Amino acid sequence: MSMSVPSTSAILPRHIAIIMDGNNRYGKAHNLGKGQGHVAGKEALDPIVEYCVETGIEVLTVFAFSSENWQRPPSEVMLLMQLLALTINEQMPRMNEYRIRLRFIGDRSHLSADLQALMADAEAKTAAFDAMTLVIAISYGGQWDIAHAAKQLAQQVQAGQLRAEDVNTELLGEYVQLADAPAVDMLIRTGGEYRLSNFLLWQAAYAELFFTQTLWPDFAASELEMMVTEFAQRQRRFGKTSEQVVTEQQFR
């Protein structure tokens, strides 16, 4: 890697999330075979992971397969599942080399038993690594995530373990996926679309949004570095005024 690493005084995002969009369009633009755009997209992940580790990003979450993607043609879904399994196997040496924890979020009930076992094994083998966490969202949807958390709380209320009036945003936030991880600071979408597509709706409530025309297979660490630099220049107010934020920064 030849990317420059920001100085320790730079304001870094703790958690970056990426919607990896544009694989099919990349394949068509380059006259690749059916599904080969997804293969190219798989290769684009490695330099992004390396950049995040070297820069000091704590968590990188990538949207690999959404709950809505099950509606795609069966042949494409099968290919994507195969690529996910291949990605996990190929990432393991990198996880060991860089001491990266690998995690998965999403509704695993729709996945094959073999893929579920592969995911669980990868999580177990990397659980103690602390250089960075790579999260792969598979069969994931933000609305499912929130509903799943609400269902768990409703079951506790029904069982008499919790009062309905005790349910608030803080408590619900403890039951969504990645509840133990930092909130998403930067959410990036490649491929020229301007929507969140049901990705990390709760976790990215105050994320800085970045959109690029670059198709995911062409998305390079150099472009991510420019976004991280821009992130450091944005003022994050979280509902406060600019004056309040400046005053708080002066007294830190």
Sign of CA dihedral 126, 130, 136, 141: positive
Cβ partners under 8 Å of residue 208, min gap 6: 13, 185, 186, 187, 231, 234, 236
Structure tokens at 49: 């992971």
Active site residues: 21, 69
Cβ neighbours for 200, distance < 8 A, ≥ 6 positions apart: 17, 61, 137, 142, 145, 178, 184, 187, 207
Contacts of 205 (CB under 8 A, 6+ apart): 183
CB atoms within 10 A of CB 111: 20
Burial (0-12, 13-18, 19+ Cβ within 10 Å), 13? buried
Cα dihedral 136, 140, 141, 143, rounded to 10, equals: -110
Asked if residue 20 lies in contact with residue 64, where contact means CB atoms within 8 angstroms, the answer is: yes
